[in-house]
Chain A
Amino acid sequence: MSRAFLGLPRSRRDAHPDADVAGEPFGPVPHPDAPLRWGPTFPDAARTALDNAQLRRNLGHATSTIRAKRAAVVGEVPDWEGLRDAGATLKERVMATLPELLDELERNVTERGGVVHWARDAAEANRIVSAVATAKGVDEVVKVKSMATQEIGLNEALAADGIAAVETDLAELIVQLADDMPSHILVPAIHRNRSEIRDIFLARMGDAPRDLSDVPRELAMAARAHLRRKFLSAKVAVSGANFAVADTGTLAVVESEGNGRMCLTLPETLVTVMGIEKLVPSFDDLEVFLQLLPRSSTGERMNPYTSLWTGVTPGDGPQEFHLVLLDNGRTDVLADEVGRSALHCIRCSACLNVCPVYERVGGHAYGSVYPGPIGAILTPQLTASSGGLSGHHDPNASLPYASTLCGACYEVCPVKIDIPAILVDLRAREVDADRAHRGVDPWAAAMKAASWVMSDGDRFALAGRAATLGRAVAGRDGVIASAPPPASAWTRSRDLPAPPARTFRQWWATEHGGGAP
Chain B
Amino acid sequence: MRIALAATCIADTLFPGAPRATVRLLERLGHEVVFPASQACCGQMHVNTGYFREAVPVVRNHVETFAPVADGEWDAVVIPSGSCAGSIRHQQAMVCRRAGLDDLAATAAAVAERTYELSELLVDVLGVTDVGAWFPYRVTYHPTCHSLRMLHVGDKPFRLLRAVEGIDLVDLPDAEGCCGFGGTFALKNAPTSAAMLADKASAVRATGAEVLTAGDMSCLMHIGGGLSRERAGVSMLHLAEILASTRDHPTVPADSAWPLRSHLSPGEASR
Name the B residues within 8 Å of A404 (CB-CB).
145, 178, 180-183, 185, 193, 196
> By the criterion CB–CB under 8 Å, are A47 and B191 in contact?
yes
Question: Once the chains bind, are B260 and A427 in contact (CB under 8 Å)?
Answer: no
User: Does A361 lie within 8 Å of B51, measured CB to CB?
Assistant: no
Contact A497/B54 with A456-B61, A460-B40, A504-B12 known, Cβ cut-off 8 Å: no
- How many residues in A have their beta carbons less than 8 Å from beta carbons of B? 78
* B154: Cβ under 8 A from any A Cβ: no
A96: chain B residues at CB < 8 Å are none
Report if A6 contacts B (CB, 8 A).
Answer: no
Is A410 positioned at the interface, with any CB of B under 8 Å from its CB?
A: yes
A356-B40 contact given A447-B46, A494-B222, CB 8 Å threshold: no
B256 an interface residue at 8 Å Cβ cutoff?
A: yes
Question: B157 on the interface (CB 8 Å rule)?
Answer: no
Is A500 close to B, CB under 8 A?
yes
Establish whether residues A495 and B150, one from each chain, have CB atoms under 8 Å apart when the complex forms.
no
Indicate whether A299 reaches chain B with its CB closer than 8 angstroms: no
A2 at interface (Cβ–Cβ under 8 A)? no
**Judging by beta carbons under 8 Å apart, are B11 and A504 in contact?**
yes
B140 in contact (CB, < 8 A): no
CB distance from B168 to the nearest CB of A (A): 25
- Beta-carbon contacts under 8 Å, B102-152 to A: 145-146, 148-150
State which of A23-31, A112-120, A130-138, A477-485 sits at the interface with chain B: A477-485
Q: Is the CB of B13 within 8 A of A464?
A: yes
Q: A46-B189, A494-B222, A501-B264 are in contact. Are A457 and B54 (CB under 8 A)?
A: no
- Check A498/B258 contact, CB under 8 A, given A405-B48, A504-B11, A508-B35: yes
Instruction: Tell me if A72 is interfacial: C-beta within 8 Å of chain B.
Output: no
Q: Which of B45, B185, B189, B197 is the most central at the interface, judged by chain A CB atoms within 10 Å of its CB?
A: B189
Consensus secondary structure, chain A interface: helix
Binds B, one of A235-243, A251-259, A468-476: A468-476
Q: Are B178 and A356 in contact (CB under 8 A)?
A: yes
* Residues of B with C-beta under 8 A to A498: 258, 261, 264
Whether, in the assembled complex, A486 has its beta carbon less than 8 Å from a beta carbon of chain B, the answer is: yes
* B contacts with A: majority SS: helix
Return chain B residues, CB-CB under 8 Å to A361.
192
Q: Decide if B61 touches A495 in the complex (CB within 8 Å).
A: no
A residues less than 8 Å from B45 (CB atoms): 450
**Nearest Cβ on chain B to A406's Cβ, whole angstroms:** 4
Residues of B within 8 A of A458 (CB): 38
Q: How far is the CA of A478 from the CA of B180 in the complex (A)?
A: 23
* Contacts known (A50-B195, A430-B50, A493-B226); A402 close to B40, Cβ less than 8 A: no
Kindly state whether residue B68 has any CB partner on chain A within 8 Å: no
Q: Which residues of B contact A402 (CB under 8 A)?
A: 189, 192
* Chain B residues whose C-beta falls within 8 Å of the C-beta of A471 in the assembled complex: 261, 264
B:257-271 near A, CB below 8 Å: 257-266, 268, 271
Q: Does A451 make an interface contact (CB < 8 A)?
A: yes
A-B residue pairs in contact (CB < 8 Å), sample of 10: A46-B191, A360-B195, A424-B48, A430-B50, A431-B51, A431-B52, A455-B40, A494-B222, A501-B268, A503-B16
Beyond known contacts A432-B52, A460-B12, A477-B261: 9 more, CB 8 A cutoff: A43-B192, A408-B178, A428-B52, A444-B51, A461-B37, A478-B256, A478-B260, A495-B225, A497-B225
Residues of B within 8 A of A (CB): 7, 9, 11-17, 19-20, 23, 35-41, 43, 45-55, 57-58, 60-61, 65, 90-91, 98, 145-146, 148-150, 176-178, 180-197, 221-222, 224-226, 228-229, 256-266, 268, 271
Chain A residues at the B interface, C-beta cutoff of 8 Å? 42-43, 46-47, 50, 356-357, 360-361, 400-408, 410-411, 421, 424, 426-432, 443-444, 447-448, 450-461, 463-464, 467, 471, 474-479, 481, 486, 489-490, 492-505, 507-508, 512, 514, 517
